[in-house]
Structure 1
Amino acid sequence: MQSAFDSLAADSLAVADSLALADSLRADSAVVDTSGGIGGLSQDVGVAAEALGSGRFEDAASILAASLKAFAFDNLLPAAITALAFWIALRILLGVLRRALGRSKRIDAGVQQLILRFSRFVIVALAVVAVLDKIGIAVAPFIAGLGIAGIALGFAAQDTVQNLIAGITILLDRPFHVGDNIELHDTFGTVEEITLRTTRIRTLDNQMAILPNANVISDRIINHSMLRALRVLVPFGIAYKESPEAARQVVLALTEGDQRLHPDYAPAVVVTELADSSVNMELRLHLKDSKLEVSLRLEYQEKVFEALKAAGIEIPFPHLQLFVDEAKAFQGSRLLGPGPEADAGG
C-alpha cells in the first residue's frame, strides 16, 4: 500500500514539474495567455514543439503528456458530464411535456409539435454553450457571429422566413386542425400535417398537396370540419311535367333511419331553379361526421337516381328540338317526308 502511495505521489510531482516547466517555457517564448482549456492545450502544444525543435525531447514529451492529462481531467471530463446532464434533462423534459400536452384537449397537435421542437432546440442550444464553455472555447464571439450571419441569412431567405412566420401564425390562430377537411387554393382534402414551412393536404385522389404557409394564410380557407354539423347538397332534376312534391316524398324517404345524419337538422328537398330543360331540385343533408362528406354525397346521388327511376319520375336531359318553316329546298327529301309526286302517285 505504501508503495502505491509513493508511486501516486511521484506521478503528481512529475505532472507538477512538467507543468512548471511548461510555464517556464511559455514565459521564455513570451506567451502570456495561460487561460487553460483548449487555449492552454494549444499553447502547450506550441511550447512542446519549440522544446522539440531545441532538441529537448524528454521535456517536450513530458509537457505534452501533462497538458493532455490536465485537459482531460479539467475540461473534457466536466464537458462530458455536462453533456450527459443536459441529455438526461432533455429526455425528462420532453417526456413530461408529451404527457402534459397529450392530456390537453385545447392545444392542437401542430402547436404541440411546435412546443416540443422549440423546447428541444433551447435545451440543445444551452447544452452546446455549456459544453463549449467547459472545454474553454469563448462563446460570446461565436454568438455575435451567429447573430450577424442570421441577419444576412434572413435577407437572403425572405420567402423561407415568411413561411416560418406564417406557419407559427397558423398554429396559433388555428383556422384548421390536422384531420380537418378543407378547401384551399382550389384543392379539397384532409389536412395531414402542419409544419412551420408548409401545410400538407391529402386530396381525394390520394395525392399529397404541399402548400407554402405564406400562400395558405393569404387565401380564403373553407373549413368543412370546424362546425358541429356539415351540410351536404345532392342536386338532381325532374321534367316539367312531373310534380316536385311527388319527387320530394320519394327522395326524403331515402333518408329515413340513416344514423349518419345529424338529428338536429331534418333533411329537406327544395326547388333551386327552373332551368331550360328541367326543374332543378336539391337534397340537403346535415352530417354528424364531416369526414363522410364525399362518400355520403356520392351514395345519395345514386340512391336518388334509382329512386326517381323506380317511381316513374322522369329525369330529363338537355335536348334540342328543330322546327323548319318554309324550307322549300327540302321538299321531296327524306327530311320533310314524301313529296307531292309521291302523293300524286298514291
Structure 2
Amino acid sequence: MFESLIDFEALRSYFTLLVPKLATASLILLFTWLLWFSLSRVLQKIFKKTSFDLTLQKFLLTVSKITIMTIGIMTALGQVGINIASILASLGVVGLTIGFAARDTLSNIISGLFIFWDRPFVLNDLIEVKGMYGRVENITLRSTRIVTNEGKMLAVPNTTIINEVVASYTNFPHLRIEVEFTVGSNENLTKIRKILKNLVSSNDVYMQSPMCELLVDAINDYNLALIFRVWIDNERDHIRLRNQLIEDIYNTMLANKIEMPLETIQMAPFEVKVQK
C-alpha cells in the first residue's frame, strides 16, 4: 500500500546524495567555528600589545564574529542545496514587512553602531543618562548595559543613548564635587573659607590646583546658603568622597563653633472669637 504512494527508491537516492552534503556542511560549520575561535585568540593577543581600549576591542570582535559566521552559514546552506540567491531575493520582497515589525530593534542596532563609532563613552566609564547613573558594563548592538551603585543591571536601549544627553564622569581626568550647606547670617565668611581651605589642604585626595572655592548661593532670613567646591583626582570615587566631605564639613563647623541654623517656624496661639 505504502509502496504505491511513496517512491522508496527515489527517497533512497535522495538521502544517499543528501548525506554527503550534510557532512560537508557540518564540516564547513565546524571549520567556521574553529576559524572564529583562532581569530579571536589572535585578536586578543594583538589587543594586549596595542593601545586599543575595551570598547574598540569589543566592536572589532563583534564585527569579526558576525562576518565570519554569516559567510560560514551561507556557504553551508549552499552545500546542502539551498539557493542563497533566492533567499536574498525573497528577503527583498518581505523586507518592508520585517522592517516595520522590527523597526525598534533595527533602530537600536544602528544606534549601537553609532555608539561604537562616535564613542561618547567607553567600557567601565561612569555615566548618567535620563537620571540613570552607573558604570558601563557592556555595549551590545541592541542596548548599553549599566551597573548602578545598588548592583542593578540596566539595559538601556541604544536609541535612548543616542537621542538623550549623556553625562560622563570619567571622560576627563579630574572632577569637581560640590557640597551645599548653611551657616548663621552673622558668621564670618573669611574665617569659614580659611577653615575649609585647611580642611582640604591636609588631605591628598583633594587637588590643590584648581583651588577650592566657597560661594554664597543665597542670603536667607535666618542663614547664608553656601556652596563649597573642590576638585578631586580620582573621579571614579566621587560619590564616596562627596559623602565624606559632607561629614568633614559638618564636624569642622561644629569644632570651630560655626553656627549652622535650620529654618524654623514658630507657632503662637491665636484665639478665634465666634459671634453669637
Q: Same fold (TM over 0.5)?
A: yes
**Which of residues 118, 141, 154 is equivalent to 1:173?**
118
> 1:195: how far off?
1.9
Structure 1 residue matching 2:244: 3-state secondary structure: helix
How much does 1:122 deviate? Answer: 1.7
Q: Answer yes or no: is the 8 Å Cα contact 1:79–1:134 preserved in 2.
A: yes
Percent of aligned positions that are identical: 26
Amino acid at match of 2:230: L
TM-score, length of structure 1 as denominator length = 0.68
Gaps of 5+ in 2: none
Q: Distance in 1 between matches of 2:171 and 2:162?
A: 17
How does the TM-score come out when normalised to structure 2?
Answer: 0.84
Per-residue deviation, residues 47-79 of structure 1 (Å, max 9, x unmatched): xxx9x659xx9xx77x87677556545x34443
Shift of 1:156: 1.5
Larger mean Cα displacement after TM superposition, 267-276 or 277-286: 267-276
The CA distance in 2 between the partners of 1:161 and 1:71, in whole Å, is 36
For residues 320 and 66 of structure 1, what CA distance do their matches in structure 2 show?
A: 97
285 and 98 in structure 1: CA distance in 2 versus 1, 3 angstrom threshold: same
User: Looking at CA atoms only, which structure, 1 or 2, has the larger radius of gyration?
Assistant: 1
Residue 110 of structure 2 aligns to which amino acid in structure 1? I
Structure 1 position 261, deviation (Å): 2.2
**Which residue number in structure 2 is paired with residue 105 of structure 1?**
51
Alpha carbons 1:182, 1:222 under 8 Å: kept: yes
In terms of fraction of residues, the more helix-rich structure is 1
Higher strand share: 2
Give the match for residue 25 of structure 2.
79
Contact 1:177–1:191 (Cα < 8 Å) also in 2: yes
Q: Deviations over 1:71-124 (max 9, x none)?
A: 545x34443443333232222222222333344434442x43232222222212
Residue equivalent to 2:67:
122
Matched, 1:233 2:186: no
| Aligned equivalent of 2:150 | 205
Give RMSD over aligned pairs.
3.1
The runs of at least 4 consecutive aligned structure 1 residues that moved more than 6 Å come to 63-67
CA distance in 1, matches of 2:149, 2:32: 45
Distance 1:261 1:89, change over 3 A: same
Greater relative contact order, per chain length (Cα 8 Å cut-off, separation 6+): 2
User: Are 1:94 and 2:69 an aligned pair?
Assistant: no
Q: Tell me if structure 1 keeps the 8 A contact 2:184–2:222.
A: yes
* Separation (CA, whole Å) in 2 of partners of 1:148 and 1:259: 66
**Contact 2:201–2:208 (Cα < 8 Å) also in 1:** no
For 1:106 and 1:100, how far apart are their aligned partners in 2?
A: 9
